[in-house]
Amino acid sequence: NHELNVPMAMKIALDGLLEYNYKTRDTSISDVGKYDKVEVSVLLCNNNFIQNLNKEWRGEDCATDMLSVSQFIPDLDVPTLMLGDIVISVETAARQAEAKGHTLLDELRTLVVRGLLHLLGFDRQISDEAAMEMEKEELLILKSLRWKGKGLAKNAPDLSKPHTETLDGQVTNSLKRAGSLRFYRPKFKYIFCDMDGTLLNSKSQVTARNAEALKEARSRGVNIVIATGKTRPAAIDALNMVDLSGRNGIVSESSPGIFLQGLLVYGLEGREIYRNTLNQEVCREAFSYSLEHKVPLVAFSQDRCFSMFEHPLVDSLHDVYHEPKAEIVSSIDQLLGTAEIQKLVFIGT
């Protein structure tokens, strides 16, 4: 519809990012000049549709005026800037237009502007300064296009009041009615993630990019579960280096996790829900081979490691790969009598 000139509104919004230094805007989208084109979709729907979407993505079982869903992926080297989707309920927009004393088209235009600004990193709810900056950019777009309509920032619900009454007399949280979905909310609830060769690089360190991705997933309500051949202490130590271990991280002694090739599994609150061990005769044969050929062998048992060798390569499991420091035992019988073994690793010389 030429009356709902989204491309021009988007161009003015992007130009505004270059001309003004907004302190409160999320700057994940910054260098817009490097893209050949920019894409955003606008969907007009009814209350039932947006209520279902609101429930699915935000857990809010109520209609709202607008949802904005970001599709932007940082560091993705593509020629098109995929801003995201703006979904607007025409039913709610019509009711709001009547209450504000302007036309439905005016209300749709202002909702499009609000959606664009959310996709570009503005969020009036974080502070008074953020609200002022969002209103400034909003008014710039509306005036540049000669669009009518009252400023959205001024007409936002009073967030200092915890509840507002709806037309049918029901009380609901004001944020549910006013909220927009700035960030994409995944449909899945869990990510099961390996460590070696996945989260960890060749130096057995979590890269900054992987750490940021994990934190972003957690911020969107996704539960991260480590599934690794490592021991739990090794996973905790590796992720502690990027502040992702402990009660507020993704792995701790109180979190779910799959360790030692699936032979040790923890559930909610870190309670053990599955354990299995290697056959003792297989372990005895492996250690006999190790002694005969002088090839270092390390046995893993829950949160401990054992070996019959003092060797730099054995030490490297602890110094480089975060595993518990190997306890040296003097005989095969002593080892098999000390621990239930869940994993064996030969270390080549």
Domains of the chain by start residue, with CATH: 6-178 (3.40.390.30), 190-275 (3.40.50.1000), 280-346 (3.30.1240.10)
Whole-angstrom CA distances from 315 to 88, 201, 291 are 60, 19, 18
Per-residue pLDDT tens, the chain, 349 aa: give them. 446 667 777 777 776 665 666 777 777 777 777 777 888 889 999 999 999 988 888 888 999 999 988 888 776 677 888 888 999 999 999 999 888 888 888 888 889 888 888 888 888 778 888 788 888 888 878 877 777 655 544 443 332 333 333 333 333 343 333 344 444 455 678 899 999 989 999 999 998 889 988 988 887 778 899 999 999 999 999 999 999 998 778 999 999 999 999 999 999 889 999 999 999 999 999 999 999 999 999 999 999 999 998 999 999 999 999 999 999 999 999 999 989 999 999 997 5
H or E element: which one contains 38?
strand 37-45
H or E element: which one contains 259?
strand 257-259
Whole-angstrom CA distances from 223 to 151, 218, 227, 240 are 38, 6, 13, 17
Instruction: Give dist(CA 250, CA 199) in Å, integer.
Output: 13
Measured in degrees and rounded to the nearest 5, phi and psi for residue 264 equal -140, 115
